[in-house]
Amino acid sequence: MAQPPSSAQHMLLGYARASAVAPALDEQVDTLVSHGVAQRRIYTDDTLAGVVAAQRPGFDALLDYARPGDLLIVVSMDRLGRSADEVLATVRTLTEHDVGIQALREGLSTHDDGGSTLVGVLASLAVANDEMSAVGRRARSPGDRHRTGHLGRPRALTDDQVELARRLRDNGDSVPTIAAVLGVSRATLYRTLAEKRSTR
């Protein structure tokens, strides 16, 4: 696996985004500084201060400044977007710009041995999210019984999503947080993880 670029090749950047359920911006900034990010290279968006939800001027400024090989550090993956789709879109954008990602709470980094796996899983989630509604509609019909083995709701998560959820859970993330990142209900996540354990 590729190793992290040397300090001569990349710069540490930070991004913090306020929300009702996240640590305050100043707490996020303090955490990023404690992990080596210069305060002047930390970009912020405060949606609680009247910024239109769809706008992220802080992130736009970060993207404008970032250069290939830079490493973006965030307190957690959910700081990259307000929904699973937005997180995935942000990851794709950063990857296209060759900017690495490190999420402190999840213990995930695109520069770690599992980094390429992380990007692959997150990218696959985008496709899965697009397909889930259509699959759900088809699976509700009686004709799908022979494919699913039972009649009723289909699994709401793909194998890749379940694997990511298990990794995040093992790293100490709460079920509500993981469910929010994946865009499913807590009940769905609990049920799917339980089903996965029972089939092992």
- Write the pLDDT tens digit of every residue in 97-149: 999 999 888 777 876 655 555 555 555 554 445 444 444 445 555 544 444 44
Q: Is 6 part of any domain? A: no
Asked if 105 and 140 sit in the same domain, the reply is: no
Asked if 133 and 81 sit in the same domain, the reply is: no
Q: Is 4 part of any domain? A: no
By C-alpha distance, which of 109, 37, 99, 29 is closest to 77? 109
Q: Is 3 part of any domain? A: no
Residue 149 token pair: 């083995």
By C-alpha distance, which of 111, 55, 120, 114 is closest to 92? 120
Give residue 196's pLDDT band: very low, low, confident or very high (50, 70, 90). low
Asked if 68 and 95 sit in the same domain, the reply is: yes
The predicted structure's pLDDT at residue 150? 41
CA 60 – CA 86 distance, rounded (Å): 14
Asked if 121 and 158 sit in the same domain, the reply is: yes
Q: Domain range spanning residue 137? A: 115-198
The predicted structure's pLDDT at residue 148? 41
Write out pLDDT tens, residues 58-88. Answer: 999 999 999 999 999 999 888 888 777 788 8
The residue ranking higher by pLDDT, 60 or 160, is: 60
Are 102 and 72 in contact by the 8 Å Cβ rule? The answer is yes
The percent of residues above 70 in pLDDT, for the chain, comes to: 64
Within 10 angstroms of residue 125's Cβ, the number of other Cβ atoms is 24
Last residue of a domain, one of 51, 82, 109: 109
Give SS3 for 66: coil
